[in-house]
Amino acid sequence: MASPADEVVLSLNDGNSVTVHLHGATVTSWRHKGTERLFVSKQAVFDNKKAIRGGIPVVFPNFGPWDLGPQHGFARTSRWTVESKDDKPSNGAIKAVLILEDNEATRKMWNHKFKVTYTLTLKDTEFVMDFAVENKGDQAFSFTALLHTYLRVEDVTKTTVSNLKGLKYVDKVKGGDMFTEDRELVSLAENYDRVYQNTPDEHVVMDGESGRTVIVKKTNFPDTVVWNPWADKAKGMSDFGDDEYPNMICVEAGHVSSAVTLTPGDTFHGNQVLNIVQ
């Protein structure tokens, strides 16, 4: 389990809360009226070294395998700093701001000066994540980024994701080949790892078993990754229980099919909102 010194907790009345771990700025809990809406593996490692398996890890400055450093970049395994945190709610919301800036370790992998500002705002039925990357150096750089959201569900085979029909996607299970989605509502029945491109700014994720629904809204994140490792792959993951895959689905907002290029002094802004329907 995580140490309280490593966590920031945002709380509203009625059992609404968000917990974020400073290792990776990984959101490890989002509760609405006491019900946990994110999935974190019971075998997740909290050693401030390994990426935390579940919640909402931050992927930056690279999505996927990376020649310069660890898969999915260094943000999810770096120690973030709390820039500010509300002591109490104001106008029905409570907020924390976390930052990650370049340091000696990051520059050895990726020699650029940057500042990532991650603003987390909890409201009654909404959880807002504002993600900003500023180029603090004197040369342009390019990056990809993604919020790797693990949603908790009762039965992944009875869970659907909307607004993907007609879109092109890269199927990473099938060697990275490109296909076109033909289903009105996407459901999963096997190892699933698809990068949907040019996606709309809203997806409805409905858990048919529990009846719970979350709307994923996003701005300036043109890609949506849908992922579940399924049984065989789960068995090969030391930090993921063999029987846990039915209880999660990743629906991830990102800018990964093409890189963002920032000139000196410029800032990229992306946003994700998780909205409770029921």
pLDDT in tens, 49-69: 999 999 999 999 999 999 999
User: Region 233-246: what's the mean pLDDT?
Assistant: 95
The catalytic residue among 21, 148, 203, 255 is: 148
Provide the mean pLDDT of the chain: 97
Q: pLDDT confidence of 3, banded at 50, 70, 90?
A: confident
Residue 1 has pLDDT above 80, yes or no: no
The catalytic residue among 32, 203, 244, 252 is: 252
Closest CA to 207 of 169, 162, 170, 155: 155
pLDDT in tens, 81-96: 999 999 999 999 999 9
Q: pLDDT confidence of 275, banded at 50, 70, 90?
A: very high
To the query of whether residue 252 is one of the catalytic residues in this protein, the response is: yes
Q: Given this model, what pLDDT does residue 14 score?
A: 85
User: Region 97-103: what's the mean pLDDT?
Assistant: 98
Closest CA to 26 of 62, 53, 63, 66: 53
pTM, two decimal places: 0.97
Partners of 118 in the beta sheet?
A: 98, 131
User: Region 10-28: what's the mean pLDDT?
Assistant: 96
To the query of whether residue 36 is one of the catalytic residues in this protein, the response is: no
Tokens of 190: 């096997």
